[in-house]
Amino acid sequence: MNAPDRNRPLKIGLSPRFLHTVPAELGFKGKKLQYLEQSIAHWLMTADALVFMLPSIEGGGLIRRGNIHIADYVAELDGLVLQGGADVSPLTYGETPIRPEWQGDRIRDMYEIDLLQEFVAAGKPVLGVCRGLQLINVAFGGTLYQDIVTQHGGSHVHHHNPSAFDQHFHRIAFIAESGLSRLYPNLGNVRVNSIHHQAVKLLGKDLAIEALSVPDDIIEAIRWRGESYVMGVQWHPEFHDPSDPELLDGRPLLREFLAEAERSRMRAAQRVAM
């Protein structure tokens, strides 16, 4: 059997955002939309990765399997990115929403947890961004603050006017000896883009804290201690201008994730060749 082509672009799956109630002006009366925010796809594409959005299979408000299964996605792809979006539903981690506007998207939660579990079982890397970090934590048995300001005393504002969400920043600090501290050596406090009112409360099983916000110590990055790569960051690296020295450069994080995807591809090829 021929050796795998190292020059072949990596194929990365991107979980969709869900729009359950579509504004009439979009022209999809009575329909639901699944979509992506283009910046996250373009960020992945800067490293010459091919990006594929992974539409769900659903019916009756809950996920229903058809002839295409999540395992089919996993078999064809080299890694998974869980993008940002609506709140994780408190129902998903065993709580009741304190306010109606914090009820989140339970349907999306269940689909993304299925995606995460299948990629982890296959030993393929997963990167969670913003909501994606929160979803990873919940999938591993953790919980969230439904609202940082009202449930975490002394916190500063982690969100901003939604119309300018890519222009709100705060500082973070890496945990000593963490994977991120090795990936970004000799960095002190650094600015990141932040737009979230939920955050990790109880850390999920076998997850390690990699970064905290300054000065209020909200968890801003987590990594799984298991056999495959599962990483979550609360900030949006896709909104960071690499030419701005004040912002954390997202390229090392992207390279680390894609290097894990390449290793996963090589392992899969070796199993086929045996």
Select which of 58, 112, 130, 260 is catalytic: 130
Select which of 158, 170, 196, 236 is catalytic: 236
* Neighbouring C-beta atoms of residue 25, cutoff 10 Å: 6
> Is 238 designated active site?
yes
> Is 227 designated active site?
no
* CA dist., res. 270 & res. 118, Å (int): 20
**Inter-residue contact 158 to 201 (CB < 8 Å):** no
Select which of 238, 240, 256, 260 is catalytic: 238
> Is 236 designated active site?
yes
Question: How would you class 249 by CB atoms within 10 Å of its CB: exposed for 0-12, middle for 13-18, buried for 19 or more?
Answer: middle
Residue of 184, 185, 219, 213 lying closest to 201 (CA atoms): 219
3-state helix, strand, coil in the chain (%, to 5): 35, 20, 45
Question: Which residues are part of the catalytic machinery?
Answer: 130, 236, 238
